[in-house]
Amino acid sequence: MAAPDSPASPRVRERPLSPHLQVYKRQVQMMTSITHRATGMVLAVGALAMVWGLGALAAGRGPWTEFVACVGSPLGKVVLFGFTWALAYHLINGIRHLVQDAGHGFAIPDFIRSSWISVIGSVVLVVLAWVVVLARWGQA
Partner 1 sequence: MSGIGRDLRTPLKRARGLGSAKDGTGHFLWQRVTAIAVVLAGIYLLGLLIGLSGADYDFARAIVSDPFNASVLLAFVVAAFWHAKLGLQVIIEDYIHAPLLAGIAHLANIFVCALAAIAGVLAVLRIATLGV
Give the binding site for partner 1 (CB under 8 A).
Answer: 37, 40-41, 43-44, 47-48, 50-51, 54-55, 57-58, 61, 64-65, 68, 71-72, 87, 91, 94-95, 97-98, 101, 129, 132-133, 136-137
Terminal Cα distance for the chain, rounded? 53
Percent helix, percent strand, percent coil in the chain, to nearest 5 = 75, 0, 25
Shortest distance (Å) from residue 52 CB to partner 1: 9
Q: Which is nearer to partner 1, 12 or 58 (CB)?
A: 58
Residue whose CB is less far from partner 1, 14 or 57: 57
Beta strands of the chain (E only): which ranges? none
**Of 12 and 101, which CB lies nearer to partner 1 in the complex structure?**
101
56/77 Cα distance (integer angstroms): 18
List phi, psi (to 5°) of 73: -70, 160
- Tell me the closest approach of the beta carbon of residue 23 to partner 1, in angstroms: 19
Classified as helix, coil or strand, 54 is: helix
Smallest gap from residue 63 Cβ to partner 1 (A) = 10
Minimum distance, C-beta of residue 120 to partner 1, in the bound complex (Å):
19
* Residue 15 Cβ vs partner 1, minimum distance, rounded to whole Å: 24
C-beta of 4 vs 135, nearer to partner 1: 135
Tell me the C-alpha distance between 88 and 121, whole Å: 8
Q: Taking the mean position of all CA atoms in its chain, how far away is CA 52?
A: 22
